[in-house]
Structure 1
Amino acid sequence: MIEMSHWITFALIGLGTFAIRLSFIEFYGALRIPPMLRRALVYVPASVLAALVLPAVVFKAGQPGIDWGNAQIPAAVVAGLIAWRTRSTLLTLAVGMGVLWGLQHWGY
């Protein structure tokens, strides 16, 4: 009985999530979005990407902190500079991973 209630809960949560996302897609053209909110929505993808990447860079062995001994931090800084200067996703990934692998190879 308990296992079945778990599956029902998962299904309801999944349907609720789907309904929320579908409502934004379906009603986006029909609703008037204020210009200020429309300008703010432009920044959502960048903030979501930062929220996904930053914990992966800063956390080392499950412990948060800015430690320059963590090779991921200087590699992320270099990758950020490359992205800012070139606006090339492929070059940013290649240089960032190259720097990370190089620092890890040399025992940084």
Structure 2
Amino acid sequence: MSWFEGHAALLICILGCVLATVLPKVIPVMFLKGDCLPVLLRRWLSFVPVAVMAALVGPDVFFYEGRFNAGPSNLFLMVALPSLLVAWWGKNYFLTIAFGIGLVIAARWFGWQ
């Protein structure tokens, strides 16, 4: 018995995972080129990156030390507020993230939690 015959189920599983991962990313790129989409749909899709970023960052900002905390004792929320101004002013993800990380480092250096 060859190695492939002994691991056929594993290979089929890996192939299925590859297809399930690649197809949802490749098909929209192939068939939904930005020029052929209606203006309303293009405008609606422009909000997707912001929504994804908010979904990723929101829990880290509002859940501090394992529980929901929207008060001034939440270091990450207090850092997020000036970082929002930097994001609005600079319109640059890298600048915003670097500024936020810098504020967290400074706050912890000076003894705030």
* TM-score of the two chains, using structure 1 as the length reference: 0.74
Name which one, 1 or 2, has greater alpha-carbon Rg: 2
1:28 is matched with: 32
Once residues 80 and 33 of structure 1 are traced to their aligned partners in structure 2, the CA distance between those partners, rounded to angstroms, is 31
1:77 is matched with: 81
Question: 1:71 touches 1:104 (CA, 8 Å); kept in 2?
Answer: no
Instruction: State the one-letter code of the partner of 2:23.
Output: A
Deviation at 1:74, TM superposition (A): 1.0
Unaligned runs of 5+ in 1: none
Shift in alpha-carbon separation, 1:79–1:7, aligned structure 2, 3 A: farther
- Aligned pair partner of 2:19 in 15, 18, 29: 15
Unaligned runs of 5+ in 2: 1-7
Q: Which has the higher contact order (CA 8 A, sep 6+)?
A: 1
Deviation at 1:52, TM superposition (A): 0.9
* TM-score of the two chains, using structure 2 as the length reference: 0.71
Deviation at 1:17, TM superposition (A): 2.9
Q: How many residues align?
A: 105
| 5-14 or 87-96, larger mean C-alpha shift | 5-14
2:68 is matched with: 64
CA deviation profile, 1:40-82 (whole Å, cap 9, x unmatched): 0111111111111111222223323313212111111111111
Identity of aligned residues (%): 30
Q: Give the superposed CA RMSD.
A: 2.8
1:42 is matched with: 46
